Amino acid sequence: MTIHVNIGEAKTRLSELIAAARRGEDVVIAHAGKPAVKLVPVSPELDRAALAARRLAFFGSIGGKPSMSSIWKEPTLTDEELDSFEKLS
């Protein structure tokens, strides 16, 4: 189903029109009686980009850029633990 509205009506019904577009309905907004724009939901790919930006902002706020050395720590095992792993193989 396609919903056609003029700009004035779109202003008052914007939340409703956005919800309709997110449900998969075609929403066309006209200017002076001629179709001008179409509302479409954001693709999941763009959602991932927004998530990545939020993560970057969070990690940037905890002081400095995270590096592999701050994320990955070399395991520290005792000689006995190493021997027990060798016996398992």
Range of the domain at 52: 1-64
pLDDT tens by residue, 17-41: 999 998 989 999 999 999 999 998 8
**CATH code of 57's domain:** 3.40.1620.10
On whether residue 50 sits in a domain, the answer given is yes
pLDDT exceeds cutoff 80 at 61: no
On whether residue 75 sits in a domain, the answer given is no
| Strands ordered across the beta sheet of 26-31 | 2-6, 26-31, 34-39
Domain count of the fold of the chain: 1
On whether residue 72 sits in a domain, the answer given is no
pTM here is 0.49
Residue 9 Cα to chain centre, angstroms: 30
pLDDT category at 13 given cuts 50, 70, 90 is very high
Residues 57-72 have a mean pLDDT of 64
Share of the chain above pLDDT 90, in %: 39
On whether residue 76 sits in a domain, the answer given is no
On whether residue 60 sits in a domain, the answer given is yes
pLDDT exceeds cutoff 70 at 44: no
Q: Where are the alpha helices (DSSP H) in the chain?
A: 7-12, 14-22, 44-61, 68-71, 79-88
Please answer whether residues 7 and 29 qualify as being in contact, where contact means their C-beta atoms are separated by less than 8 angstroms: yes
